[in-house]
């Protein structure tokens, strides 16, 4: 018998790649942080002696979900300003609150809250864009959470940096250099948006991203208003300006993209850029709809993100998958515009590829890291089971997530977080809300 560290046998194993198969009664064997075998459960019992063995007889085992766009620490602003369009929400509520409260402690506590929520819902990797990214990175690394941390850049000063040069310098020093070679933390550039970052820093980011081969994660074409204002100011649409600055390429991770002409879709496809679809944030802020089916038909890698909890108002990728699938059908007028398996792929492998992690995570394959999630389908809401993938997208919810592993380490077991104290996190969040909501003294 061979020894492995972890053996997970499940009723259904859904690898996502190399093709859309569902393996019944299979097991995944893990040594160290990697998957070393995928085989029928009956054979696994003969072949492997495991330090830890989970038998999950009514569960689906899937790759950990990848939240390809969020602002983790904004969890502390969940519900602070609802039912507003993007610019009113940002300029009249979010930016003033950030200017008053965001610092290292806010980002630490908000990120812990966000990671607890994400792990409970089966998200094992997130792509972040927020102030004090070195704090987000440290919290994620300490908890063994996989994260792509945005080296943020905006033209305006904040508590974190005075100007674009300082944003870039701190990002490289405190995120990229500080986590180089470290397993679970990777760095990406995160200029906020074409309307908040001018040409010179965007050009510097392009050079650095090329040199360091890092993704460039940016909000773009989020609303029609953004595009119209940009045309008035720059004489071209935001995507055209990014292209003129050389940013449109395989490293670009374009978030939102609710406003797209046919020639822009062709351009994104030709350049090999990825798009992150955030359907619930786009709906809640009435920003528009990303034409997902047309992007997929053009061969573009489309991932899924929640955006921050202040505009969503949760970090639930199950909800995003279902909304994306339903919305795509409504927008395209075709019931097969985004089938269940394609939605699951967006929340896993497409996210991993957008973040430059496609060789490491996003599917259950031998050699990849063991970022795995088990979903209990033995619940009233998911009976009977004809097709587990259908239930994952259309019927189950994050409540059904029972287990999560990152690089072979258990983060959620039988619905319980292994490293985080939920009560302490909630007490902390309530204390922040009390401070933020208290009337200001003159
Ligand atoms: C520079 S840190 C990130 C910055 O982005 C803000 N933000 C959060 N959600 C959105 C969104 O949907 N569009 C544009 N900007 C957003 C966040 O509040 C931070 O200021
Ligand atoms: Zn965002």
> For the chain, what are the domain ranges?
2-62+370-407, 65-354
149 class by beta-carbon count within 10 Å (0-12 exposed, 13-18 middle, 19+ buried):
buried
Reported as a pLDDT band with limits 50, 70 and 90, residue 440 is confident
Total-model pTM: 0.98
69 carries a ligand binding annotation: yes
Minimum-distance ligand to the CA of 309? Answer: 1
- Atom 20 of ligand 1, nearest CA residue: 95
CA of 69 to the centre of ligand 2 (A): 6
> What CATH architecture is 65-354?
Alpha-Beta Barrel (3.20)
* Residues in contact with 423: Cβ distance below 8 Å, sequence separation at least 6, in sequence order: none
Q: Does the pLDDT of residue 441 top 90, yes or no?
A: no
pLDDT in tens, 135-179: 999 999 999 999 999 999 999 999 999 999 999 999 999 999 999
Mean pLDDT throughout 53-78?
A: 98
d(CA 372, CA 402): 11
Q: Does the pLDDT of residue 334 top 70, yes or no?
A: yes
Q: Which atom of ligand 1 is nearest to the CA of 153?
A: 1
Q: Which atom of ligand 1 is nearest to the CA of 130?
A: 2
Q: Does the pLDDT of residue 7 top 70, yes or no?
A: yes
CA of 40 to the centre of ligand 1 (A): 46
> What CATH architecture is 2-62+370-407?
Roll (2.30)
CA of 367 to the centre of ligand 1 (A): 36
pLDDT in tens, 286-307: 999 999 999 999 999 999 999 9
Same fold, 2-62+370-407 and 65-354: no
Question: What mean pLDDT is reported for the chain?
Answer: 97
Q: Which atom of ligand 1 is nearest to the CA of 278?
A: 12
Interface predicted TM-score of the whole assembly (ipTM), two decimals? 0.99
307 carries a ligand binding annotation: yes
- Atom 19 of ligand 1, nearest CA residue: 130
Reported as a pLDDT band with limits 50, 70 and 90, residue 442 is low
Q: Within 13 Å, how many C-alpha atoms sit on residue 240's CB side? A: 12
pLDDT in tens, 349-408: 999 999 999 999 999 999 999 999 999 999 999 999 999 999 999 999 999 999 999 999
What tokens does 131 get?
A: 């102030």
DSSP per position, 294-345: HHHHTT-EEEE----TTSSS---HHHHHHHHHHHHHHHHT-TTSS-HHHHHH
């Amino acid at each position: 018998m061979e020894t492995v560290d972890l053996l997970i046998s499940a009723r259904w194993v859904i690898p996502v790649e190399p093709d859309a198969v569902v393996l019944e009664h299979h097991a995944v064997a893990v040594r160290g942080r990697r998957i070393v075998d995928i085989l029928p459960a009956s054979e696994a019992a003969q072949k492997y002696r495991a330090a830890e063995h989970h038998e999950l007889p009514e569960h689906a085992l899937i790759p950990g979900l990848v939240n390809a766009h969020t602002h983790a620490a904004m969890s502390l602003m969940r519900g602070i300003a609802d039912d507003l369009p993007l610019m009113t929400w940002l300029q009249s509520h979010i930016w003033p609150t950030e200017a008053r409260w965001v610092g290292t402690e806010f980002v630490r506590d908000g990120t812990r809250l966000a990671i607890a929520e994400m792990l409970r819902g089966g998200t094992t990797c997130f792509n972040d864009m927020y102030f004090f990214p070195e704090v987000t990175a440290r919290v994620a690394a300490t908890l063994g959470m996989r994260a792509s941390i945005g080296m943020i850049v905006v033209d305006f000063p904040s508590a974190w940096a005075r100007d674009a040069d300082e944003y870039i310098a701190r990002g490289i020093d405190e995120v990229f250099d500080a986590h180089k070679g470290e397993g679970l933390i990777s760095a990406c550039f995160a200029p906020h948006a074409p309307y908040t970052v001018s040409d010179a820093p965007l050009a510097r980011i392009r050079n650095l991203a090329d040199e360091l081969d890092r993704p460039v994660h940016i909000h773009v074409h989020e609303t029609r208003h953004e595009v119209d204002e940009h045309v008035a100011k720059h004489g071209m649409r935001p995507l055209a300006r990014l292209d003129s600055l050389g940013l449109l390429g395989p490293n670009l991770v374009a978030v939102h993209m609710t406003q797209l002409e046919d020639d822009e879709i062709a351009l994104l496809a030709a350049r090999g850029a990825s798009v992150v679809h955030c359907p619930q944030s786009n709906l809640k802020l009435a920003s528009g709809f990303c034409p997902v089916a047309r992007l997929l038909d053009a061969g573009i890698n489309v991932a899924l993100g929640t955006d921050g909890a202040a505009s969503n108002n949760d970090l639930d990728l199950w909800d995003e998958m279902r909304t994306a699938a339903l919305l795509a059908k409504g927008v395209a007028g075709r019931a097969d515009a985004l089938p269940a398996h394609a939605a699951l792929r967006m929340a896993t492998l497409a996210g991993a590829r957008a973040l430059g992690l496609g060789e490491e995570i996003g599917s259950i394959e031998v050699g990849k890291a063991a970022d795995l999630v088990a979903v209990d389908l033995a619940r009233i809401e998911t009976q009977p089971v004809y097709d587990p993938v259908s239930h994952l997208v259309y019927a189950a919810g994050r409540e059904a997530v029972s287990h999560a592993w990152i690089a072979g380490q258990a983060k959620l077991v039988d619905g319980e977080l292994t490293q985080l104290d939920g009560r302490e996190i909630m007490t902390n969040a309530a204390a922040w809300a009390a401070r933020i909501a208290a009337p200001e003294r003159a």
